[in-house]
Amino acid sequence: MTASNPVITAASGNHRLRGLWEAGRWNLAIAVEIIVILLVWQYLQTVVELWNPVFFPPPSEIWTAMVGMSESGVLWGSFLYSSGNAVIGFLIAAVVGVFTGLLLGSSKLFYDIAGGPFWTLYATPRIAFQPLLVLWMGFGNGPKILIIFLMAYFPIAISTMDGIRGVDPSVVKAARVYGASRAEIFFKVQLWAALPLILTGLRMGVARAMIGIVVGEFIGGSEGLGHLIRKKAGELQLDAAIGITILLVIIAIVGMGILNLVKKIVAPWYIEGVVKR
């Protein structure tokens, strides 16, 4: 057995530490920025009294309001209701969006047939559909799930389509030269190469789904986080309304972070839009 080289061992350890630092410094910078913003916000509201605290409460009051709603069970009940609709709407959008994006990106015939309606619907403000959905489908979960689907579907489909179209043609030609069938080229070359952009579309879809939650429950809703925001704002309990809004932002960030982690695991060669050579 050969003895390990201390120089190589030390270099490997330094490289590992450098990798940990590179991975964590961005998150650390964001955390520091958030803490600074909260401290400045608290100071301006409680010491300087720059704004009317009724209309722009300090972080301490927002935290107190969130704790109160959590202890009463109102917050968790609304969270479970909204998250259930969001998961269903997002999963449907993910399946349908990836499927149609693959067809639009890989089939010229399908794009010629469905491309026009697809882009027309994309250009239509989806928020405007919500009152109509309530009239057509009632006040149940259906319109809420559908508006979440519509909000999340398009970024997923468009990113998937762009990912398929962005595959290097020389790679496809090389696969044909080595005798790969059309199915093998699609599943082993094109789909795999498009995977990072598909995951990017899913990550954007998570953020759009949060918008769908608020829109769906603002109009014709009697439950959920969106309804709770509207109710608290109408009662001038802006500390609670702002706190719930921040909670939705946190949920979106966590969801996007999970998908970003998945992208780093399954497509480590693709980082922030740059392919490692």
pLDDT tens-digit series, residues 8-58: 444 445 555 554 555 556 667 777 888 888 888 888 877 777 777 777 888
User: If you ran DSSP here, which 8-state letter would residue 4 be given?
Assistant: P
- Judge if 98 and 147 occupy the same domain: yes
- Judge if 23 and 91 occupy the same domain: no
Give 112: exposed, middle or buried? Use CB within 10 Å, 0-12, 13-18, 19+.
exposed
This prediction has a pTM of 0.79
In contact, 151 and 215? CB cutoff 8 Å: yes
pLDDT tens-digit series, residues 121-173: 898 888 877 888 887 887 788 889 999 999 999 999 999 999 888 887 787 78
- Judge if 23 and 117 occupy the same domain: no
Return the bridge partners of 275, or none: 270
Segment 205-211 shows an average pLDDT of: 90
Q: What is the pLDDT of residue 18?
A: 59
Q: What is the pLDDT of residue 259?
A: 85
d(CA 136, CA 35): 46
User: If you ran DSSP here, which 8-state letter would residue 128 be given?
Assistant: G
- Judge if 12 and 92 occupy the same domain: no
In a domain, 115, yes or no: yes
Q: What is the pLDDT of residue 17?
A: 55
> For residue 218, what are its two tokens?
């603002």
Look over the chain and give the mean of its residue pLDDT values, rounded to a whole number.
82
Q: What is the pLDDT of residue 9?
A: 47
Q: What is the pLDDT of residue 172?
A: 77
CA distances from 151 to 130, 196, 215 (A): 11, 21, 10
DSSP 131-143: HHHHHHH-SSSHH
CATH of the domain at 221: 1.10.3720.10
- On the question of pLDDT at 120 being above 50, the answer is yes
pLDDT tens-digit series, residues 81-109: 999 999 999 999 999 999 999 999 888 89
The confidence band for 276, taking pLDDT boundaries of 50, 70 and 90, is very low
In a domain, 27, yes or no: yes
**Owner of token pair 């954007």:** 204
Determine the Cα angle at 234 with ends 231 and 238, to 5°: 90
The confidence band for 1, taking pLDDT boundaries of 50, 70 and 90, is very low
Q: What is the pLDDT of residue 171?
A: 79
In a domain, 222, yes or no: yes
CA distances from 229 to 133, 234, 239 (A): 21, 8, 10
Q: Where is average pLDDT lowest: 102-106, 179-183, 212-216?
A: 179-183
- Judge if 143 and 231 occupy the same domain: yes
Segment 224-249 shows an average pLDDT of: 89
- Judge if 161 and 117 occupy the same domain: yes
Q: What is the pLDDT of residue 41?
A: 83
Plot region of 121 (φ>0 → left; ψ -120 to 50 → alpha; else → beta): alpha
> For residue 75, what are its two tokens?
């917050």
- On the question of pLDDT at 277 being above 50, the answer is no
The confidence band for 179, taking pLDDT boundaries of 50, 70 and 90, is confident
In a domain, 56, yes or no: no
- Judge if 100 and 9 occupy the same domain: no
- On the question of pLDDT at 274 being above 80, the answer is no
- Judge if 97 and 209 occupy the same domain: yes
- Judge if 66 and 40 occupy the same domain: no
Q: Where is average pLDDT lowest: 6-10, 197-201, 220-224?
A: 6-10
In a domain, 174, yes or no: yes
In a domain, 155, yes or no: yes
Specify the number of domains making up the chain. 2
- Judge if 101 and 202 occupy the same domain: yes
- Judge if 248 and 119 occupy the same domain: yes
Domain hosting residue 106, numbered range: 61-275
User: If you ran DSSP here, which 8-state letter would residue 49 be given?
Assistant: -
- Judge if 36 and 78 occupy the same domain: no
In a domain, 55, yes or no: no
